[in-house]
Amino acid sequence: MGKTSAATVARDMMRSFPIRAGFMVGICGGVWSEKTDIRLGDVIVSQQDGMHGGVVQRDYGKMERDRVFRRTGTLNKPPRPLLNAVQGLKAMHLRKGSIVHQHLKDMISKYPLMEEEYGSPGREQDELFDASYDHACGDSCDKCDRGKVVKREPERKDGRPRIHYGNIASGDEAMQSGIYIRDDYLV
């Protein structure tokens, strides 16, 4: 967990393999909003947006008076070929739609034992709590106050995962509170 571990692994792999570009893949929590309806199982792809290169290091900055955090500096933008590839992928998804759901279905069909670990837990597990709510302790939300669940539009008609493009927040600590999330990035 964290950029130091990821950088160490990347450096060691570059010593052993002729790597020209790398992709970071991980599991994250999405930031739902009226503008970006992120649901459980959706895929987030970083894409350059405004002054950010696709990834915003959310804990890189300084704390000012009244506990106001101001981000300083930016991460390098990805190389042009990667930016072009993401734009091409986005254009293809806009024209033809995503087939992520078919890939998942094929995987489970070929390797049924993977369903327990990688299958969808079901849409009923996709609960969005108010950002200011402090959850009850534990690994699940069984003891959480259901009155703090945010009402959203009903389930999507097709129930398929969507692909979202935009800035991704990165940092060295796990976010346990939604209060500190800024809305200039998706995740």
In this prediction, residue 187 carries a pLDDT of: 47
β partners of residue 45: 165
β partners of residue 43: 163
Q: What are phi and psi of 180, to 5 degrees?
A: -90, 5
β partners of residue 149: 129
Cα–Cα distance for residue pair 169/187, rounded to 1 Å: 5
Per-residue tokens: 1: 């967990």
Q: Which residue, 60, 66, 26, 73, is CA-closest to 46?
A: 26
Angle at the Cα of 39 (from 33 to 42), degrees rounded to 5? 115
Q: What are phi and psi of 93, to 5 degrees?
A: -65, -35
Cα–Cα distance for residue pair 174/28, rounded to 1 Å: 9
Per-residue pLDDT tens listing for the chain (187 residues): 666 787 888 889 989 999 877 777 766 666 677 778 888 888 888 888 777 777 777 777 777 887 777 777 667 778 888 889 999 999 999 999 999 989 999 999 999 999 988 888 887 888 888 878 887 777 778 888 999 998 887 777 787 888 988 888 777 666 666 665 544 444 4
In this prediction, residue 183 carries a pLDDT of: 47
Chain-centroid distance of CA 124 in Å reads 20
State the pTM of this model: 0.74
**Domain spans in the chain, listed from the N-terminal domain onward:** 42-77+165-187, 99-161
- Pair 166, 178: CB distance under 8 Å: no
Q: What are phi and psi of 49, to 5 degrees?
A: -150, 115
In this prediction, residue 31 carries a pLDDT of: 67
**In Å, what is the CA distance from 72 to each residue of 51, 59, 63, 135, 169?**
12, 9, 10, 31, 14
